[in-house]
A = this chain, B = another copy of it.
Amino acid sequence: MYFPSWLSQLYRGLSRPIRRTTQPIWGSLSRSLVLSSQRRNPEFSSFVVRTNTCGELRSSHLGQEVTLCGWIQYRRQNTFLVLRDFHGLVQVIIPQDESAASVRKILCEAPMESVVQVSGTVISRPAGQENPKMPTGEIEIKVKTAELLNACKKLPFEIKDFMKKTEALRLQYRYLDLRSFQMQYNLRLRSQMVMKMREYLCNLHGFVDIETPTLFKRTPGGAKEFLVPSREPGKFYSLPQSPQQFKQLLMVGGLDRYFQVARCYRDEGSRPDRQPEFTQIDIEMSFVDQTGIQSLIEGLLQYSWPNDKNPVVVPFPSMTFAEALATYGTDKPDTRFGMKIIDISDVFRNTEIGFLQDALSKPHGTVKAICIPEGAKYFKRKDIESIRKFSADHFDQCSLLGKLRLECADLLETRGVVLRDPTLFSFLWVVDFPLFLPKEENPRELESAHHPFTAPHPSDIHLLYTEPKKVRSQHYDLVLNGNEIGGGSIRIHNAELQQYILATLLKEDVKLLSHMLQALDYGAPPHGGIALGLDRLICVVTGSPSIRDVIAFPKSFRGHDLMSNTPDSIPPEELKPYHIQVSWPTDSKAAKAH
């Protein structure tokens, strides 16, 4: 039932550490949540009927007449109850004298999680009954009046067991899950961090917050775009995956510095830990190079970073794509720990071990190793066996070594070695990506490694016309603890080059992008930008297991809203204005019947 005084610290910027408590919902985190030392405490009780929040009361309020509103968290022997709001918990004494019978009746009979309003006096707890673990533990409320604002029906489960329930149940009753300390913490931290980002971009660096449309045209190859039928037969809007085209057009329009906390859409069917709609901090600047964007982002994260976390150290280290692959076996290395991949081919140049000879005799054949510190000490026989099996299962994937490195790290940590400090935030720029990749369906054709507006690396432009596969790009990814949390590039601002890449190299339908090509011809400045994946970033900052824990109303991994049963059937007459009809699968009568 104890509850840390995290909220006023989140806003006020005090950094007094808070001790770990045992309250299952409201005390499971013991951090001090401080986002900025400049922030003053907002007025949480302006414009409303309460005079104070439950969680803010201290000895300094002694003798004050207060009105509180909150949920009944706990009641004991009809003598006191604990009232909860978003700010915390406070103890309320149920009056025992006959004249207060109606107040007592309300407070004794209201079910748990009912909403009540009480007025009374802040008094000291009797000597010896203070609770030092509870921020309001020195005081209690002597109630004069009480009102039952809303009685709660019997809950489908005990609220304190909530986090133990299945995620499906938590999503179905999301409005109950939101009352948990963890969700309040995550959503409020997200709000505060975004606010600080806005202050940095808007107030300190002159960026303009501009909203761009989400009902737009399909992009070439945009197979993951949701469609929105219009009232014109056969004509559709698409929900774009990012404001990419618009932000570039804003630069052509002389807006110079744009940002948007942008809602984006991507239809990937069922993929774990992805959401059909997600949010990115979307940024674009004119007259900038790669270094400029990187410095901007380093400053942005430093400025908006919660004060109670380990600080962000700038500048972030940088690594080429090639080096990341060679050293970590992935383009998003977790650099909190070593265990790098080492080329030991030379050691085995004269080996007589058959399979190594075999490997080294192939073109580009290498032998690589990962040194696991004190592996012999920590790994048991069954660990070695599981690593061997993991390797066999993933042997055909060139990213095997990167995965093996993480697998070994997992194993080491189950043996008690702290390899990836959860309080450490290790940022990394990955740069010099290839501009093109061979198409999966047809490896003789090219597709953009990121998107077709990415500018080639200045040193490689000549290769565009001879060996396009070798061209590096001016794309950069931002990696945090092994998660890709952002990516961007310097863009092509020359219509001729853009046309050559789209039409000749990528063989795209240029008609779909004719407005972009035209815009580049009418005085487009050099420009570049980046987008940070906000959901993923907040997920890493809060240490949440899933991005669903940092989104108020997430969809399930199948794209369903389990609370409201979304998506849902639509009466045929509501499809008519959009000139569409459902193509029922012939093998699924059940679906139609439903």
| A213 vs chain B, min Cβ distance (A) | 5
A538 to chain B, nearest CB (A): 11
- Closest B residue, CB atoms, query A53: B256
Tell which of B178, B183, B255 touches A178, judged by Cβ atoms closer than 8 Å: B255
- Do A583 and B579 have beta carbons less than 8 Å apart? yes
Any B CB within 8 A of the CB of A152: yes
Give the segment of A120-128, A378-386, A413-421, A551-559 that binds chain B: A551-559
- Return chain B residues, CB-CB under 8 Å to A69: 286-287, 525
- Which one of A221-229, A339-347, A398-406 is at the B interface? A221-229
Q: How far is the CA of A233 from the CA of B580 in the complex (A)?
A: 13
Contact in complex: A236, B524 (CB < 8 Å): no
The residue on B at minimum CB distance from A115 is B525
User: A269 within 8 Å of B by Cβ?
Assistant: yes
Query: What is the CB-to-nearest-CB distance from A495 to chain B, in angstroms, rounded to a whole number?
Result: 8
A545 to B553, CA, bound (A): 38
A114 to chain B, nearest CB (A): 6
Residue of B nearest to A204 (CB): B42
The digit string for A553-577, where 1 denotes a CB below 8 A from any CB of B, is: 1010001010111111110001110
Residues in B with CB closer than 8 Å to A216 are: 561, 564, 566
Across the interface, name the chain B residue whose C-beta is closest to A110. Answer: B523
Q: Distance in Å from the Cβ of A382 to the closest Cβ of chain B? A: 41
Kindly state the separation between the CA atoms of A150 and B217 in the bound complex, as whole angstroms.
27
Which residue from chain B places its CB closest to the CB of A239 in the assembled complex? B228
For residue A223, give the distance in angstroms from its CB to the closest CB of chain B.
Answer: 7
Q: Which residues of B contact A117 (CB under 8 A)?
A: 287
Would you give the 0/1 interface string for A67-95, flagging 1 where the beta carbon is closer than 8 Å to chain B? 00101000000000000111000000000
Contact B523 A150 (CB under 8 A): yes
CB distance A191 to B204 under 8 Å? Answer: no
Cα–Cα distance between A115 and B253 once the two chains are bound (Å): 12
Known contacts A237-B567, A293-B47: A253-B525 contact under CB 8 Å: no
Q: Is there an interface contact between A153 and B525, defined as CB atoms closer than 8 Å?
A: no
With an 8 A cutoff between CB atoms, is A519 at the interface?
Answer: yes
Confirm or deny: A104 has a beta carbon within 8 angstroms of a beta carbon on chain B: no
Ranked nearest first, the 8 interchain pairs of A and B with the lowest CB-CB distance are A178-B253, A42-B206, A152-B523, A47-B292, A235-B567, A217-B566, A230-B567, A175-B252
